[in-house]
Amino acid sequence: MPLATQNARPPAIYLPLSGQEAEGPAFTPSLGDIRRAVEASAYWRALEAFVRAEAQLTEFSRLTADWDSYGAEPPNATARESAAQLLGILRTSNLPPTRVVPSSEGGVGICFVNGEAYADIESLNSGELLAVMYTGTEEPQVWEISQNEESIKKAVEQILDHLTS
């Protein structure tokens, strides 16, 4: 058998990702191609938001009293654990937070923004969960959420409806 035939590439059994002909050079995505695909993916953006939120929650354990220079208490273990549980429910509901912040009321605020629609859930140091929603300059809706999974899921559904309506 001639050497050229021995080294010939076997025919491709799939179409290359670039749309090139199977006989053409193989498509090798660049790091930039991969980065653009990840940035365009709603799945990866949501995953990144949850990873960032969990990291921020960990950082809140390092805050000290008067962290905001107005006398606010830092989020305590109760507030942080409740917020972590809430993040788990948000993940299964596919509702990534826009921001996670320490609350000046003492606790953790998990915030959501879509255009002019705003909502947040505050996990307070006292163990209470409070929710707020509003759009633009309208009057905010505020309510307390019971500390059980069913009530939390119901509040998350209301927030999701608010943000997408």
Tokens matching residue 132: 């707020």
The pLDDT score that the predictor gives to residue 42 is 83
Which DSSP letter does residue 50 get? H
Could you please report the per-residue DSSP string of 114-163? ETTEEEEEEEETTS-EEEEEEETTSPPEEEEE-SSHHHHHHHHHHHHHHH
Place of tokens 């140091």: 125
Shortest CA distance to 61 belongs to which of 71, 76, 81, 79? Answer: 76
What pLDDT, in 10s, does the model give residues 93-143? 999 999 999 999 999 999 999 999 999 999 999 999 999 999 999 999 999
The pLDDT score that the predictor gives to residue 34 is 75
Q: How far apart are CA 131 and CA 90, in angstroms?
A: 14
Pairing of strands 99-103, 129-135: unpaired
Q: How far apart are CA 146 and CA 112, in angstroms?
A: 20
The sign of the CA dihedral 15, 16, 18, 21 is: negative
Give residue 1's pLDDT band: very low, low, confident or very high (50, 70, 90).
Answer: very low
